[in-house]
Amino acid sequence: MKLATTTALLLATTSALAQIPGRIYVTNYAGHVHVVQYTPNATSLENIFTYPLPGNPSWLFKGKDKHQLWYVSEDWVGNKGSLGRLDILQNGALSVGTPIVLRGNPVQAAFAFNDTGILTAQYSGMDGLGGGVQLLKFDGSNGTALKHVDTYKFANLTAPKEAPQDVPRAHGVTLDSTGKFAFVPDLGADRIRTMLFNGTSLSYQEGAFDTQLPAGYGPRHAVFFRHLPQNATQPFSIWEPGFLLVVNEIASTIVTYEIKYEAGNVHISPAAGEIDSTGSLPFQNKVAFKNDTRAAEIKIAPGNRFVTVSNRAWHGTDANGAVDTLVTFEVNLDGTLKLVDTKNLADSKCLIPRSFDFHPSGDKVLVACTQSSSVVVYSRDPNTGIIGAPLASLGLNTTVAGTVTGISHAIWD
């Protein structure tokens, strides 16, 4: 009886969340951030505020303070990217602060040190073409000003290949559950770099604790996954083993690694499993199809049962039938993945799904469609993980000097 009551309450709460209007934040490479309103049962989204940002904004993220929105921005001209804060006002408007200049072109960032620092991943432009990471911490005197703490420009490759694997290219930052370790997928080096947060700084030894992937994989992003304890009252240690799920952009695969801890150190086991990120779409030439498809984002859905990946298709005349998709998998107990659903985004004209975000209720998915310069909200069944029909969409102008720059990122408030 108690279980039934709890389940009914959870379903009622989820249903109530689904009917609440929601705000969406969107960045584009033209140099803007948009505040967009989602209204249940409406077929279109409303752009209510637009603000200019420096450079080419690439990533939005939040910490514990939900009244603050953060971004990193690339600089395609001068390789001087930026990190900035946007204060969210009561009416949904944003207050744009003065950004801090970074080295190179950041494409992702995450909070560290219990939200007292930020780690950024630079794709390129750090003392030349290559990438690396930068760690910044909040000034202890007032807790708001950021200062540079550590910068690591990764060593040049000993056997460079064609671009984008000609130089090291950090493309993501993923922290484990302890908050003491960061995993940085290096798309250029086919490597997962493991870094230690040591006291108030970042410790990294080139190659010492890194994990090498097969040549040509191009790791892009990763998520740290751990199954919830079967007994809800069971104590849950941050040092329990987990899994690192890595999505590879060039190979269009997802590789699972097992993460274990011993004496305060992290150990990454050989791959526990690998699966094609493109799912079950019918196509005649699998090799040609994969060559025209690039995996982009990976995220764990609310409920901690499913993981979803976005795949971007080449839309040229030689596309070999490739299409843009969201592919959902269920995470097995051993960390391997079981295909659940393949959502073709062509019906809603969502071209190049660079990123996506789950609504907290789990019943909607927001997709940032780069090439079509649009954002689309899709329905989703939180119990099965299956993504349904488009609910609402919005096109935005991202044209600069006659060129469509595209949408870079979108998240729910």
Instruction: Read off the pLDDT of residues 42-59 as tens digits, 9 standing for 90 and up.
Output: 999 999 999 999 999 999
> 172-195: per-residue pLDDT in tens?
999 999 999 999 999 999 999 999
Residue 40: cis peptide before it, omega within 30 degrees of 0: no
Residue 144 has a CB neighbour count (10 Å cut-off) of 10
Distance CA 226, CA 244 (A): 9
Q: Could you tell me the pLDDT band of residue 198, with boundaries at 50, 70 and 90?
A: confident
Nearest one of 105, 98, 202 to 146, comparing CA atoms: 98
Radius of gyration of the chain (CA): 21
Residue 81's pLDDT is what?
Answer: 97
Cα separation values, 293 from 6, 111, 220, 286, 313, Å: 43, 31, 14, 10, 5
> 262-284: per-residue pLDDT in tens?
888 899 998 888 988 887 655 44
Range 20-412 classified under CATH 2.130.10.10: yes
Q: Does 141 score more than 60 pLDDT? A: no
Structural contact between residues 240 and 303, judged by C-beta atoms closer than 8 angstroms = no
Structural contact between residues 57 and 28, judged by C-beta atoms closer than 8 angstroms = yes
Residues contacting 89, CB < 8 A, separation 6+ = 95
- Domain segments of the chain as ranges: 20-412
Structural contact between residues 58 and 70, judged by C-beta atoms closer than 8 angstroms = no
Answer positive or negative: Cα dihedral of 320, 218, 122, 49. positive
Range from 123-127, 130-134, 307-311, 312-316 carrying the lowest mean pLDDT: 312-316
Percent of the chain with pLDDT over 90: 75
Distance CA 291, CA 280 (A): 16
What are the tokens at 137? 């911490």
Output DSSP code: residue 162. Answer: S
Cα separation values, 126 from 81, 105, 168, Å: 10, 8, 10
Residue 121's pLDDT is what?
Answer: 98
Q: Could you tell me the pLDDT band of residue 232, with boundaries at 50, 70 and 90?
A: low
Q: Does 14 score more than 60 pLDDT? A: no
Structural contact between residues 73 and 57, judged by C-beta atoms closer than 8 angstroms = yes
Question: Residue 148: how many CA atoms within 13 Å on its side-chain side?
Answer: 12
What are the tokens at 52? 């200019």
Mean pLDDT in residue range 386-398: 97
Q: Does 10 score more than 50 pLDDT? A: no
DSSP H helical segments within 41-152, as ranges? none
Give the pairing of strands 387-395 and 399-400. unpaired
Hey, is 71 helix, strand or coil?
Answer: strand
Residue 145's pLDDT is what?
Answer: 81
Distance CA 22, CA 296 (A): 25
Residue 144's pLDDT is what?
Answer: 67
Distance CA 169, CA 104 (A): 11
Which residue do the tokens 């040509």 mark?
A: 216
Average pLDDT over all residues of the chain:
89
Distance CA 142, CA 149 (A): 17
> 361-373: per-residue pLDDT in tens?
999 999 999 999 9
